[in-house]
């Protein structure tokens, strides 16, 4: 199997398995008796572990093997989901969260760095665009599958998602190769890991382009947590006479379909050899998303609320593969996984820091005010992305693949 096709398979299957496991996950946790405080603690543990483990796992991927990091990541995620679904207790779910979160950080950055090195340069942009579309397609199918499997029990979708994730890890053990890249050092040590962290951090510190992307990601993360936590409760009064599950499931499917179409349309005009164009597009997406989020929080009309909710969901989903393309164009192969992990760590930190202020505003004023406050965080993100875009070259030659 070619690396291009394997990457697309990873995107689709991982999204499908993840959506099966997490579509009704909060309902499952509530059904086994978790209190509101325990529900919040589960999310806090997840974000904290992701924040702490991002850079170390990215360093290991750069020093040892991206392939090995990705395989271990999917195996850990599968094990975590199995513990999550098979042992219905708060303590078990916390342990499962730790295992799953470490697995996620092993995959984050390493997967994109592997794809950038193994897929021919002429097809890298296409791979990330098509991969983003398959993520949304897998999400659509996963929502439907989770709904059907839940008829057998709320834990069943989580267990099935875990089994599929484990199978993906085993599949990668057989088909995943690593011929286009070799580690900077053949033997790992604490000293070499420290040097790799310093190299990745130095790359971000010396480059206004990477610094702007990472700083902008921090503010985007601050914005996302408020929207994710408050948007559905904000819409509940508008759907009080309808079945909430079907309404929100339908909205998620509509956003995914729109994102598939928009990603494909935009992808035709993007290429890693034109970094500034990618940065300018990311800036526009953040500005429009901020306007949509602020307007969503202020509206009192049901049709406008649903419309703006879909716009925000669609644009956020579309921005993910575009950011991946921009990061690939801005990073070198020796530190790529580490820099990706630093960016993901900024996103996790933003979510940890940005959620409480939006929640406080939502509690003291209104849910809509909290969402609008979250939207305001996107404005500095857009400004930082604009600065990074100005520092991006108009065009660049594709990076040679190292052997």
CATH number at residue 353: 1.20.1250.20
Q: pLDDT at position 20, please?
A: 93
The count of domains in the chain is 2
Q: Are residues 145 and 271 in the same domain?
A: no
Q: Do the domain assignments include residue 400?
A: no
Question: What are the two backbone dihedrals, phi and then psi, of residue 196, each rounded to the nearest 5 degrees?
Answer: -70, -40
Residue pLDDT, tens place only, 163-173: 999 999 999 99
Q: Are residues 127 and 243 in the same domain?
A: no
Q: Are residues 253 and 113 in the same domain?
A: no
Q: pLDDT at position 36, please?
A: 59
Please state the rounded mean pLDDT for residues 121-126.
82
Q: Is the pLDDT of residue 212 over 80?
A: yes
Residue pLDDT, tens place only, 304-331: 988 999 999 889 888 888 888 888 888 7
Q: Tell me the pLDDT band of 399, cut-offs 50, 70 and 90.
A: very low
Q: Tell me the pLDDT band of 400, cut-offs 50, 70 and 90.
A: very low
Q: Do the domain assignments include residue 190?
A: no
Which of 289, 310, 307 has its CA nearest to residue 374? 289
Q: Are residues 216 and 255 in the same domain?
A: yes
Identify which of 135-149, 271-285, 343-357 has the greatest average pLDDT: 135-149
Q: Do the domain assignments include residue 108?
A: yes
Q: Do the domain assignments include residue 189?
A: no
Q: Are residues 223 and 288 in the same domain?
A: yes
End-to-end CA distance of the chain: 20
Q: Are residues 326 and 235 in the same domain?
A: yes
Please state the rounded mean pLDDT for residues 175-198.
64
Q: Do the domain assignments include residue 183?
A: no
Q: Do the domain assignments include residue 399?
A: no
Q: pLDDT at position 356, please?
A: 79
Q: Do the domain assignments include residue 402?
A: no
Q: Are residues 163 and 250 in the same domain?
A: no
Q: Are residues 96 and 217 in the same domain?
A: no
Q: Is the pLDDT of residue 127 over 90?
A: no
Q: Is the pLDDT of residue 287 over 80?
A: yes
Q: Do the domain assignments include residue 289?
A: yes
Q: Which residues 6+ apart lie within 8 Å of 306 measured at CB? A: 235, 238, 251
**Residue 181 token pair:** 């890249």
What single-letter DSSP state applies at residue 243?
-
Please state the rounded mean pLDDT for residues 292-305.
90
Q: pLDDT at position 403, please?
A: 37
Q: Which domain holds residue 350?
A: 200-394
Q: Are residues 373 and 259 in the same domain?
A: yes
Residue pLDDT, tens place only, 228-255: 878 877 887 877 656 666 777 778 778 8
**pTM reported for the whole predicted model:** 0.75
What is 301-328 written as a DSSP string? -HHHHHHHHHHHHHHHHHHHHHHHHHHH
Higher model confidence: residue 389 or residue 42? 389
Q: Are residues 161 and 239 in the same domain?
A: no
Q: pLDDT at position 195, please?
A: 62
Q: Are residues 229 and 348 in the same domain?
A: yes
Residue pLDDT, tens place only, 61-113: 777 788 899 999 999 999 999 999 999 999 999 999 999 999 998 998 788 88
Q: Tell me the pLDDT band of 31, cut-offs 50, 70 and 90.
A: confident
Is 286 in contact with 319 (CB distance < 8 Å)?
yes
Among 34-43, 65-74, 125-134, 296-305, which is the least confidently predicted range?
34-43
Query: 175, 191, 215 — which closes off a domain?
Result: 175
d(CA 125, CA 131): 10
Query: 141, 175, 209 — which closes off a domain?
Result: 175
Q: Are residues 30 and 115 in the same domain?
A: yes
CA distances from 202 to 43, 140, 180 (A): 31, 40, 24
Among 30-39, 226-235, 291-300, which is the least confidently predicted range?
30-39
């Amino acid at each position: 199997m070619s690396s291009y096709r394997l990457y697309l398979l990873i995107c689709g299957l991982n999204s499908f398995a993840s959506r099966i496991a997490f579509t009704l996950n909060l309902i499952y946790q509530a059904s086994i008796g978790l209190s509101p405080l325990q529900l919040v603690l589960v999310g806090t543990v997840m974000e904290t572990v992701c924040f702490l483990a991002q850079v170390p796992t990215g360093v290991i991927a750069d020093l040892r093997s991206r392939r090995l990091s990705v395989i271990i990541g999917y195996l850990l995620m599968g094990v975590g989901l199995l513990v999550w679904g098979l042992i219905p207790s708060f303590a078990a779910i916390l342990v499962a969260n730790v295992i799953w979160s470490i697995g996620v950080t092993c995959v984050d950055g390493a997967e994109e760095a592997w794809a950038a090195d193994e897929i021919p340069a002429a097809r890298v942009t296409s791979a990330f665009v098509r991969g983003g579309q398959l993520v949304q397609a897998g999400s659509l199918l996963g929502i439907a599958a989770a709904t059907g499997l839940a008829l057998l029990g709320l834990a069943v979708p989580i267990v099935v998602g875990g089994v599929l994730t484990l199978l993906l890890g085993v599949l990668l053990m057989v088909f995943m190769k690593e011929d286009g890249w070799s580690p900077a050092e053949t033997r790992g040590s604490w000293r070499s890991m420290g040097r790799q962290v310093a190299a990745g951090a130095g790359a971000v510190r010396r480059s206004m382009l990477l610094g702007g992307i990472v700083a902008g990601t921090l503010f985007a993360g601050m914005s996302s947590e408020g929207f994710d936590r408050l948007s559905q409760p904000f819409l509940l009064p508008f759907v009080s006479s309808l079945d909430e599950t079907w309404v929100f499931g339908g909205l998620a499917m509509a956003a995914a379909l729109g994102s598939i179409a928009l990603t494909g349309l935009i992808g035709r005009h993007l290429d890693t050899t034109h970094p500034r164009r990618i940065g300018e597009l990311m800036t526009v997406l953040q500005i429009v998303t901020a306007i949509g989020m602020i307007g969503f929080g202020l509206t009192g009309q049901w049709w406008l609320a649903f419309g703006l909710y879909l716009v925000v969901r669609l644009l956020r989903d579309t921005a993910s593969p575009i950011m991946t393309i921009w990061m690939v164009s801005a990073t070198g192969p020796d530190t790529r996984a580490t820099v990706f992990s630093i960016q993901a760590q900024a996103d996790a930190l933003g979510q940890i820091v940005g959620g409480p202020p939006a929640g406080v505003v939502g509690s003291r004023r209104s849910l809509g005010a909290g969402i609008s406050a979250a939207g305001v965080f996107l404005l500095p993100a857009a400004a930082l992305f604009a600065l990074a875009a100005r520092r991006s070259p108009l065009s660049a030659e594709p990076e040679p693949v190292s052997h």
